[in-house]
Structure 1
Amino acid sequence: MGKMYVSYNMLSIYGDCPRKYKFQYVDGLAKLYRQEKPYLSFGESLHKALEEFFKNPNAESRTKENLLGILSRVWIKKGFSSEDEEKQYLRDAERYLGIFFDTQDVKITPFRVEEFFRVPMEGFFLTGRMDRIDILPGTKNKLEIIDYKTGKYMPTQETFDKDLQMSLYALGALKKYPEYSPEKISVYYFQHGQKLTTTRTPEQLAEVESDLEERVAAIASDTDYEPRETPFCRSCDYLLICPLMGVCATETAGKTRLDEQAGQQALLEEELKKTKEHYVSITQDLYALHNYSLDISSTLDSKILAQKISAAFRGIAAAARSALFFWDVGEGKFILTDSHNLDFSEDFAVEENKIFSFSGGCDFGLSASDTFSRDNPFCSLFGSTHGLKNYVVTPLVTKDKVFGLMALADLAGSRRPTNKHLQTVLTSLADQAAVAIYNSSLYRYAIYDGLTKLFRGSHFQERLKIEMARARRTGEKLTLVMCDLDNFKKINDTYGHIEGDRILREFGRTVRVKTRATDICGRYGGEEFAVLLPSTDVSGAVNVAENIRAHAESSIKTSDGKPVTASFGVAAWDVSMNNPSDFVHKSDEALYKAKQSGKNRVVFV
């Protein structure tokens, strides 16, 4: 049999597909086909942060700030499609680690951290790496093996009790440390904030060892490594070279025909070449479609999602230009969300009835033309850009509702808009994009105020906690602006709530326009708003507040032309403020002074 090195990952891959096992462990193709992905960097960063955190022998210095500081230092920046996407993953990582710190025993002194084991078995070595091993409190030789999982999946307790990986960890620990007893095997699931625990008896481990020897013997004796079709084939890194995709089978069949029909060799070789190229093209499209679909479904942030959707459509269609529109229920329009190499006027939007009606459902599918004419109503989706060659427009539909429109122009090379295969791939991608937009809209409604498009007060409070912790850790400046519309109750009483809602909507737009993408803006409650300004001192915050105040006074009017004004209070964070309420209270004091001194002004403390 030889001295093989066997890990859980190897056994799992072989169990799913022997050919994938061959590609990865026999042929050594892992590095060649591996793709950097955001969730891999995210998971590895969390593991590295916890490794360094628990290796600190001074338990009292293991604070939440210390843990988040380590995360910032070891953060892996590979695989992210944009800076915004990376920031979202980093925020999630900080949140998950915060929950971990608050709910788990972080003062314990681990027996081992990131412990690698390689233990001899019957004819092979069992290898693996355990994230952490603790000695159970009150004992001297009983161990708890702890693993961290950063993915979305969490099994039931029944499934977890039968988990092979947990059995191999217990077996590895028992073999490496025979004087100790692995009493518990636990997994902490970061995205659920929960920990599952199981046990393995000596009798169960003896059965695992016997089963393991049979598995390894089967692998060692395998010479064919037959590919196996599974639900995960479309996400396999080796999809392009898998014989199940038809390329290898076609080649073999072609060679057989050439032997049988030597007189037609040249013709058959050309036919084989074209067939092979066709299959490779289809395989590449399916692989790209799958990867783009995974990428699109990995975010709930609407801005990042728009960038990912646009990039995916351009990538598959080889389009030089694109425009993506999201349907805005409040505005009753398609709002331009992302564009590439197209000219649009400021605040460009498309009225629904200018193109089609979907009050009873979408009344058109994908529309495409190999030529471009301004007479076509869809051409309004391309703004004022001239000289376009061709186009494709597809609605993004799910649950019988249109959530967006994707417009592509100037498709290059063999990517003709009227090609049926391309249209099928784009329609499949549109289905995935529509679901992602729908999920993003649910998330957006949960954290954004529907009227002002600013964060809801509850979410703003969460972001305030995170930014205060960041400022304490890094020493960067942080300022808070609280503002309140002047005499708003009187406006509602005089002009009605519909007019009041319009004014709130316009003021929310003013706040968005006059702040940076990195600023955190929220509707704190009623007619009160809040703007959190990272890396900004009091002087800079006062300038931001003054810009919002001046713009509101000059541009927002009541229905009879009276200007709408607001008062602002500005405060800077300092280390004495331990709770968000301390920070808000200080800014509120300044706001109160602004109100008392005549309104329509900015006051700072």
Structure 2
Amino acid sequence: MEQLGFDFGVEPQPLIKVTPARLSLYDDCPRRYRMTYLDRPAPVRTGPWAHNTVGAVVHNALRELFALPARRRTPERAAKLVAEHWRSAGFADAVQVARYAEAARRWVADYVEHHGAEADVVGLERWVSARVGSDPSAPSLLVEGRADRIDRRGGELVVVDYKTGRRALQDADAQRSQALALYAVAARRTLHAPCSRVELHHVPTGTVAVAEHTEKTLGEHVRKAEETATATRAAADRLTEGGDPDHLFPARPAPRCAWCELRPSCPEGKQAAPAARPWDLLAPTT
């Protein structure tokens, strides 16, 4: 007799687990994605980069600062935390190390004085996740990741991402950021509150780039993530079956190859641009 309401011949497709960082890496350069996540043994990399050192120090200091009660989030405490977390990897020399140690203390102290000392923080490097897809009734992705900071403002959540790069950011950068959009979707599912606002806080300049998402714009980011994740899984499956790694995960030469950490293992990257120095991507100190 026919079984009503059940289809025992169809196996449900497993969810594709992704993070915003993985999706972005594949979109930028499939070869870099393969070398980072799939190749074993791991390819040769460059040494440390000074801008990554500064970024890590600033993130660690702000994480500890915003874990404190609001009354203790002072510029002086912020500067002290930078000093406690300071590292010197990737800099040109001791003079440059000293200059950026002082600059980072000033940047973080000024940021705390003008932005967010009274923030109602509900998450610091909070792990958030959500099942999403272009068809809400049949999600295809498990999106997860760690957001720098999640605030509560007026009953809604706001995703905050710290940046320490060479240039200040614009609202369009926040709107285009797939990572921030996916964090907003995951934050609302994890913390059970509305979330449509995302912000990029550029600490060296104290500027804030803002995007107010709608269900439509969030859906567009989810669909794009779904396309990328599907392509990534298909390429990885074919690689496991013996496919050509360079064909399945091609290089995308671009100026950014100058500072790619996998440049030593990528002939196309070496040809694309002259090698950057480890301190070339630091933000200006003045």
Is 1:90 the counterpart of 2:101? The answer is yes
Q: Quote how far apart the aligned CAs of 1:162 are.
A: 2.7
Q: Secondary structure of 2:279's match?
A: helix
Contact kept? 1:187, 1:197, Cα under 8 Å? yes
Q: Give, as a single letter, the amino acid of the residue that structure 1 aligns with 2:226.
A: E
- Of 131, 135, 150, which residue of structure 1 is paired with 2:148? 131
Map 1:174-193 to 2 at 5 A.
Answer: 174-177=188-191, 179-193=192-206
Is 1:143 the counterpart of 2:157? The answer is yes
Aligned to 1:467: none
Is 1:115 the counterpart of 2:126? The answer is yes
Aligned to 1:195: 208
Contact kept? 1:227, 1:243, Cα under 8 Å? no
* Pair 1:80–1:158, CA change in 2 (3 A): closer
Which of these two proteins has the greater Rg computed from alpha carbons?
1
- Of 170, 174, 183, which residue of structure 2 is paired with 1:156? 170
Is 1:295 the counterpart of 2:266? The answer is no
Aligned to 2:35: 23
Q: Which string of whole-angstrom CA distances, capped at 9 and with x for unpartnered residues, describes residues 428-470 of structure 1?
A: xxxxxxxxxxxxxxx8xxxxxxxxxxxxxxxxxxxxxxxxxxx
Q: Quote how far apart the aligned CAs of 1:231 are.
A: 2.4
Map 1:416-455 to 2 at 5 A.
Answer: none
Q: Which string of whole-angstrom CA distances, capped at 9 and with x for unpartnered residues, describes residues 549-589 of structure 1?
A: xxxxxxxxxxxxxxxxxxxxxxxxxxxxxxxxxxxxxxxxx
Q: Give, as a single letter, the amino acid of the residue that structure 2 aligns with 1:134.
A: D
Aligned to 2:181: 167
Q: Give, as a single letter, the amino acid of the residue that structure 2 aligns with 1:163.
A: S
Q: Quote how far apart the aligned CAs of 1:290 are.
A: 1.5
Is 1:60 the counterpart of 2:76? The answer is no
Distance 1:68 1:24 in 2: 34
Count of equivalent residues: 257
Q: Quote how far apart the aligned CAs of 1:295 are.
A: 3.4
Map 1:155-554 to 2 at 5 A.
Answer: 155-177=169-191, 179-222=192-235, 223=238, 224-244=248-268, 290-292=275-277, 295=279, 298=282
- Of 94, 97, 100, which residue of structure 1 is paired with 2:111? 100
Contact kept? 1:150, 1:190, Cα under 8 Å? yes
Distance 1:234 1:183 in 2: 35
Query: So what's the TM-score if we normalise by structure 1?
Result: 0.39
Q: Give, as a single letter, the amino acid of the residue that structure 1 aligns with 2:121.
A: P
Q: Quote how far apart the aligned CAs of 1:212 are.
A: 1.9
Q: Quote how far apart the aligned CAs of 1:84 are.
A: 2.0
Aligned to 1:50: 62
Distance 1:299 1:105 in 2: 22
Distance 1:126 1:296 in 2: 33
Q: Quote how far apart the aligned CAs of 1:130 are.
A: 1.1
Distance 1:194 1:299 in 2: 14
* Pair 1:242–1:34, CA change in 2 (3 A): closer
Q: CA RMSD in A?
A: 2.8
Q: Quote how far apart the aligned CAs of 1:147 are.
A: 0.9
Distance 1:166 1:199 in 2: 11
- Of 17, 23, 27, which residue of structure 2 is paired with 1:11? 23
Q: Quote how far apart the aligned CAs of 1:95 are.
A: 1.3
Q: Quote how far apart the aligned CAs of 1:243 are.
A: 4.8
Q: Which string of whole-angstrom CA distances, capped at 9 and with x for unpartnered residues, describes residues 178-220 of structure 1?
A: x300131111111222111111112332333233222211111
Q: Give, as a single letter, the amino acid of the residue that structure 2 aligns with 1:101.
A: V
Q: Give, as a single letter, the amino acid of the residue that structure 2 aligns with 1:145.
A: V
Aligned to 1:78: 89
Contact kept? 1:44, 1:76, Cα under 8 Å? no
Contact kept? 2:61, 2:82, Cα under 8 Å? yes
Aligned to 1:387: none
Contact kept? 1:37, 1:78, Cα under 8 Å? yes
Contact kept? 1:174, 1:180, Cα under 8 Å? yes
Distance 2:281 2:174 in 1: 26
Q: Give, as a single letter, the amino acid of the residue that structure 2 aligns with 1:132.
A: R
Q: Give, as a single letter, the amino acid of the residue that structure 2 aligns with 1:209.
A: V
Q: Quote how far apart the aligned CAs of 1:29 are.
A: 6.5
Contact kept? 2:31, 2:249, Cα under 8 Å? yes
Query: So what's the TM-score if we normalise by structure 2?
Result: 0.79
Q: Give, as a single letter, the amino acid of the residue that structure 2 aligns with 1:115.
A: R
Q: Secondary structure of 1:19's match?
A: helix
Q: Give, as a single letter, the amino acid of the residue that structure 2 aligns with 1:228.
A: R
Distance 1:106 1:151 in 2: 22
Distance 1:228 1:59 in 2: 46
Q: Give, as a single letter, the amino acid of the residue that structure 1 aligns with 2:263.
A: L
Distance 2:219 2:190 in 1: 15
Contact kept? 1:132, 1:146, Cα under 8 Å? yes
Contact kept? 1:54, 1:109, Cα under 8 Å? no
Q: Give, as a single letter, the amino acid of the residue that structure 2 aligns with 1:20.
A: R
Contact kept? 2:188, 2:195, Cα under 8 Å? yes
* Pair 1:169–1:61, CA change in 2 (3 A): same
